[in-house]
Amino acid sequence: MVDRLACLAMDQEDPLRAFREEFALPEDEIYLVGNSLGAPPRTAAERVRQAVEDEWGRHLVGGWNEAGWYAQPLTTGDRLAPLIGAGPGEVVAGNTTSIAVYQAVNAAMRLRPGRDVIVVDRGNFPTDNYMIEGLGELRDIGEGRFDDAACVLLSEVDYRTGARYDVPEVTARVQEAGALMIWDVCHSVGALRVDVSAADFAVGCTYKYLNGGPGAPAFLRVHPRHQATAENVLSGWYGHAEPFAFEPGFRRADGIRRFTVSTPHVLSFAALEAALDMWERVDLDQVRAKSMALTSLFIDLVGDRLELASPRDPERRGSQVSFYHHDGYPVMRALIDHGVHGDFRAPDILRFGFAPLYTRYVDVWNAAQTVAEVLEKELWREDRYAVRLAVT
Ligand SMILES: *Cc1c(COP(=O)(O)O)cnc(C)c1O
């Protein structure tokens, strides 16, 4: 069995170890929630200051031209593309994942007139299913039928259990049945080598493993084969062929710009750009290898103290480990109080996310020790841990 010294040695050997220094993280806490909100790159504050003082402060409205704000949805989209296996001109950044889901499903429905079934996973992150209620008849993937479906909307990695779909296999099966495949990569981008190149649409957020910051822009990828025909249901002025012609009616832009909606969130883009400067230096194969090692180590160290909710095979899971516990909420509150930050998902899931750029093997060791202590001494039974906070 691995011990603490072995973990320290693994950290020494870790090819990604230098990245941890690039993040602002509290020294005495173990942060295992990078799957929900990634830690800030140290350069983010300076980049946002630049956007406020040097761009906004100096150029004022001229920033739209002078500082490249106008093109941000496309230029940042191109920087995100390699992280999901896409090419330039295929991705727009902006808005939120919920909005991108709505755009993608609407576009898919219009590309498949006569089919009104949308296949989803009932375990999808709720917003994905909420957003498309009323757009078609929702059917669960468990029924395994795609022949009358317009599209299939799935998360590559399940937010609750961390279970991972086989993207190439599912994409091929869906497309063979004549349906369009839409992947949500919120819980996989930045955690593994995502490749949704064959899919028709993909959506994702940048504030989880990509460290873009709270409220960071989301993204939407449209396969080149659909760009001439797919329509953006949210026909805002940014996606107009000539936004500054201020014509009375909407006329679609060519190419991926047609999927932009409205004014980009410039200050949020600034923080995301700082993160992308870092991601451009990251080897995603190293990220995936370390992610599998960290999560497997945590599963081994926690052992049978908790019932595993995630797949045991590292190939079949993303970068999180989840366990079931009947009193999951107070257990997680107690863990946080003892310096191990995971989160709780109703009704009974304890989640621990392992962001490979800043999580060390020794953190895994220490976190598992704390889990053992909180459970064995039943520290979670203190009354104050039962009080629910607004965000769990
Ligand atoms: C995090 C997450 C979202 C978040 O949606 P927002 O619109 O950014 O609030 C959506 N879908 C999935 C699968 C997620 O993991």
Q: Which tokens hold the place of 231?
A: 């329509």
The overall average pLDDT reported for the chain is 97
The pLDDT value given to residue 157: 98
Residues with CB under 6 A from ligand 1: 96-98, 125, 127-128, 155, 159, 184, 186-187, 205, 218
**Shortest-distance atom of ligand 1 to CA 208:** 1
Contact call for residues 352 and 320 (beta carbons, < 8 A): yes
C-alpha 113: how far from chain center: 30
Q: For residue 391, what pLDDT is reported?
A: 83
pLDDT(31) > 80: yes
Mean pLDDT of 19-47: 97
Does the active-site annotation cover 351? yes
Percentage of the chain beyond pLDDT 90 is 97
Q: Per-residue pLDDT tens for 106-162? A: 999 999 999 999 999 998 999 999 999 999 999 999 999 999 999 999 999 999 999
Give the model's confidence band at 58: pLDDT under 50 very low, under 70 low, under 90 confident, else very high. very high
For residue 39, pLDDT over 90 is answered with: yes
Q: Which of 276, 287, 281, 274 is nearest to 77 (CA)?
A: 276
Q: Identify the band that residue 32 occupies on the pLDDT scale cut at 50, 70 and 90.
A: very high
Give CA separation, 281 vs 18, 146, 173, 203, 284, in Å: 11, 40, 34, 23, 9
Instruction: Specify the pLDDT at position 19.
Output: 98
H or E, element range at 367 = helix 361-376
Cα separation, 370 vs 339, in Å, equals: 8
Q: For ligand 1, atom 13, name the residue with the nearest CA.
A: 125
Gap between the Cα atoms of 128 and 137, Å rounded: 14
Instruction: Tell me whether residue 159 is annotated as binding.
Output: no
pLDDT at 77: 98
Query: What are residue 346's phi and psi, to 5 degrees?
Result: -60, 150
Q: Where does residue 28 fall: left (phi above 0), alpha (psi -120 to 50 degrees), or beta otherwise? A: alpha
Q: Whole-angstrom distance between the N-terminal and C-terminal Cα of the chain?
A: 33
Q: Measured in whole angstroms, how far is the alpha carbon of residue 281 from the centre of its chain? A: 19
Which of 244-247's residues contact partners 24+ apart within 8 Å by CB, and which partners? Answer: none
Average pLDDT over residues 80-88: 98
Domains and CATH numbers, the chain: 4-31+283-386 (3.90.1150.10), 46-279 (3.40.640.10)
User: Which residue CA neighbors atom 10 of ligand 1 most closely?
Assistant: 97
Average pLDDT over residues 77-82: 98
Token pair of 184, please? 């949500």
Q: What is the pLDDT of residue 261?
A: 98
pLDDT at res. 389? 85
Residue 246 in 3-state DSSP?
Answer: coil
Per-residue pLDDT reduced to its tens digit, 166-192: 999 999 999 999 999 999 999 999 999
Q: Which of 112, 115, 160, 208 is catalytic?
A: 208
Q: Quick one: pLDDT at residue 1?
A: 75
Backbone angles phi, psi at 321, to 5 degrees: -125, 130
Dump pLDDT digits (tens) for 240-295. 999 999 999 999 999 999 999 999 999 999 999 999 999 999 999 999 999 999 99
